[in-house]
Structures are given as structure tokens and as C-alpha cells.
Amino acid sequence: MKKKIKILIVEDEVLIAQFLKMELELNGYNVLDFVTSGEEAIEKAKTEEPDIILMDINLRGKIDGIEAARNIIERKKISIIFCTGYTEPELFERASKLNPAAYLRKPIIVEEVKEVIESIF
């Protein structure tokens, strides 16, 4: 039996997070939860041990998604898919240094997320 992929969504816009959660679950993925800050993402990654994190870059709290992802992958090998509406080259460069599985621009298209997930597993 194929392992059900565990996904954590880190997104400060609750409606987007709820939509992604619903769509991914309809496609057979196990969405563990969604959180709105980098600090929460770090804690959930420790306790829930997701396989993949969909990480927004601009988050609530004191740290952004790039810093949260850096903190998470220093501790455990978890694939990160950055999702952002920002197009600044500096953000892309910072995020790229972490070797993410993908860097997707908003609005997020669930089919693109599925393609990235399938390419990882």
C-alpha cells in the first residue's frame, strides 16, 4: 500500500489555507493542519513530522516563511514548496538558497502543487 503523503500548510490567509486543505484532501493527501506564522510552522513540523510543507513567504509573526523553512530543514529533511504572491528577486534568491522542491507564484493552482508532490515521491 502506498504511503499517504503528509502535508503541512503554512499560510497567513485563512481562506487560501482552507481552500488548499480541502482541494489536497479531495486529491487523497493527508493535510495535517494549517498554521499562519513561521513560529507555529516550526513547532508543527517538530510535532507532526510532515513530508512536505507548503510555505507562504509573508507570514504573521516575527519570522517569514524563508526563515521558518531554514529553521525546519536544519533539523529534519522535509521538502518545502514556497508559495508567494511576491515577485522580488531578493526573496526568490533567499528562498532558492534552501533548495526548495518548488517556488510557486500565487494564485496557487492545485494541479501545479500535485505535479510537484508527485515529482518528489
* Domain limits, the chain: 6-120
The domain over range 6-120 is classified in CATH as 3.40.50.2300? yes
- CA distance linking residue 29 with residue 6, whole number of Å: 7
**Grid coordinates representing 107?**
494564485
* 5-23 residue pLDDT tens: 999 999 999 999 999 999 9
- The pTM for the full model equals 0.94
For each of the chain's 121 residues, which pLDDT tens digit applies? Answer: 356 899 999 999 999 999 999 999 999 999 999 999 999 999 999 999 999 999 999 999 999 999 999 999 999 999 999 999 888 899 999 999 999 999 999 999 999 999 999 999 8
- CA distance linking residue 98 with residue 106, whole number of Å: 20
Query: Residue 83's beta-bridge partner residues?
Result: 56, 104
